[in-house]
Every structure is written in structure tokens, then in C-alpha cells.
Amino acid sequence: MKIAMIGLGAMGAAAARNLVNRGFDVTGFDPREAARAELVAAGGRAAATAREAATGADAVVTFVVNAAQVEAAVLGADGAAHGMAPGTPLVQCATVSAAFIAAFGLRMAERGLSVVDAPVSGGVLRSGDGTLSIMMSGPREAVAHVKPMLDAMGRFVYDFGDALGAGSTVKTINQLLCGVHLAVLGEALALGRRAHLDPEKLLEVYGNSAAMSWMMNDRGPRALEETPPTKSAVDIFVKDLGLVLDTGKDLKFPLPMAAAAMQQFLSLSGRGQGGLDDSQLWRAYPPPPEAG
């Protein structure tokens, strides 16, 4: 099966390598030459444009950052759509709004191309070993066509039916949960510091109590580092909680927890710290008195 992978950032590059390792014929495109070279070194092929990567592919996968990049990479000049044969499915893995993917699907249909809504969760490690969670919806024929590839990318492939946008709504709610869990982890650690409690010990206690979350176990140790490398930036959640709140507005649905979390991410981003690792959200709170 010939796959075009559009977007070779951390997640896309890992997914492309995984598909190569599992015997897929993968041609990747990314504007960064180093990213293309890495895929070639891993046994894949590289194309100079998304259009070229998509030409002759059985399926095209977009692993980019947001809706604007999907738009540009697929429908822009030298975009993938210009190379895709009629009937070829596009598997869209970026986190975008349900409203965007539904409208995008209609525009692709006008060109005789189908779309599978397939946002993922699990991070770079799980992308690299093909154990992502994939939240999928889309037309049945396209879904059946790409199922072997999705099974190679993910351990959990959840099918939410044929309505384009259902998968993205499931992912949006996933980000609502993750964003709030991160925000309250920051709040808990910041309050603990203010109360002169050892944050390392607090993480140990809460990891063994009803207060445990996956986010706490994953981000907690990095939260305690003074300058951890950025694995996932504060600004990613500014974007994703933005999608969550847009979804609430579209559906006329109040989301007070998401709204509160968004303010904390914005508080840090607005101080020019949007590039920090998202484990550092406790910095949005007042410092302990001694540091004050």
C-alpha cells in the first residue's frame, strides 16, 4: 500500500517511520529538508511537494498542526489534492474543529476525493510504535480502504460512524479533559509550594490516590524540573482549548471548566512563555513567598 505522509513533524515523522517498519511504501513531504532526509534515512522516500507525494498514492495522510495547514497542504498551490487520483481517501490526523472537517470534506467531495476524519492521541512514542488511539469517522468505503493502515498506526481505532466531524469532536473533548487535567495539576503544585509542601512527595501521594490522572503521571516529573525541554508547548493547548471553546460556541453549550483552563494557558502564553513545556503551567500562579 502506497502512502503519502504530509507533515513530518514529531508526530508525523514517527508515524511515517512506523509505517515504513511495517512494510508500507511511504513517501513523505515536509517543507523542512532535514525532516525529509530523516525519512529517507529511515527507509522511506521524500517528495519536493505535497502534490508529488500524493501522486500515485493509495492514501494520503495529513499530520500537520492545524486547519490552516491542512487547507494549504491539500488544497493550496502544489497541494496534495492536485496529485490525488479520483476516489483516493485523505486521512486527516491533525486536531481541527468538527466544523472545519465537515466543510473540508464537502470541498474534497466536489473533486471526487474522500476524507476520513482521524485525529489521534498518544504522543510521539506511541506514534512511533504504532500504538496510537485513533478517533475516526467518515464514509464507509473510504474507511474500509484505509483500515489496514490505521490498524498499523494505532492500537485503538475507534469508529464513530460516517458523519465527518464526529472523530474531531471526540478528539476535541479529549483535549478538553487533557487541558483541564493539566491546568489543575499546575494549580495543585502551585498551591502545594505556597503551603511549603514538597512537590515531589505530593506527586507520589496523588499518584496513589483518587487524584491520579494520566496527565499527572506524564507531566508531573517534568513539572518539577527547572527548565525541561519542550515536549508539548503551552501554545498547543492555547490552540486546542480554543477549538474546545469554539465547539461550545457552535453548539451553544457552556464549558466553564475549559474556559477556566484556557485563561491559565493564556496567562502563561501572554507573558511570552507559550513555548514552554506545558508541564510548567504552575508558573501561571503566584510564586511561593520565599521567591516572591
Q: Please report, as ranges, the residues that interact with a copy of itself according to CB under 8 A.
A: 98, 121-123, 133, 135, 156, 158, 160, 166, 169-170, 173-174, 176-178, 180-181, 183-185, 187-188, 190-192, 194-195, 197, 201-202, 204-206, 208-216, 218, 247-248, 251, 253-261, 263-264, 285-286
Shorter beta-carbon distance to a copy of itself: residue 21 or 133: 133
Distances, alpha carbon 9 to alpha carbons 144, 190, 235, 236, in Å: 27, 32, 16, 14
Cα–chain-centroid distance for residue 3? 20
Cα–chain-centroid distance for residue 191? 30
| Residue of 147, 171, 239, 249 marked active site | 171
Q: What values do phi and psi take at 234, rounded to 5?
A: -50, -40
Shorter beta-carbon distance to a copy of itself: residue 221 or 254: 254
Q: What values do phi and psi take at 3, rounded to 5?
A: -115, 135
Contact 239, 218 (CB under 8 A): no
Shorter beta-carbon distance to a copy of itself: residue 85 or 205: 205
Shorter beta-carbon distance to a copy of itself: residue 37 or 211: 211
| Minimum distance, C-beta of residue 173 to a copy of itself, in the bound complex (Å) | 5
Active site residue 171: yes
Contacts with 99 (C-beta within 8 Å, 6 or more apart), sequence order: 165, 246, 247, 250
| Minimum distance, C-beta of residue 87 to a copy of itself, in the bound complex (Å) | 29
DSSP string, 94-146: S---HHHHHHHHHHHHHTT-EEEE--EESHHHHHHTT-EEEEEB--HHHHHHH
In sequence order, the β-bridge partners of residue 117 are 92, 137
Shorter beta-carbon distance to a copy of itself: residue 79 or 165: 165
Q: How many of the other CB atoms lie within 10 Å of CB of 24?
A: 20
| Minimum distance, C-beta of residue 17 to a copy of itself, in the bound complex (Å) | 21
Shorter beta-carbon distance to a copy of itself: residue 27 or 232: 232
Distance CA 131, CA 268 (A): 32
In sequence order, the β-bridge partners of residue 45 are 27
Catalytic site residues?
A: 171
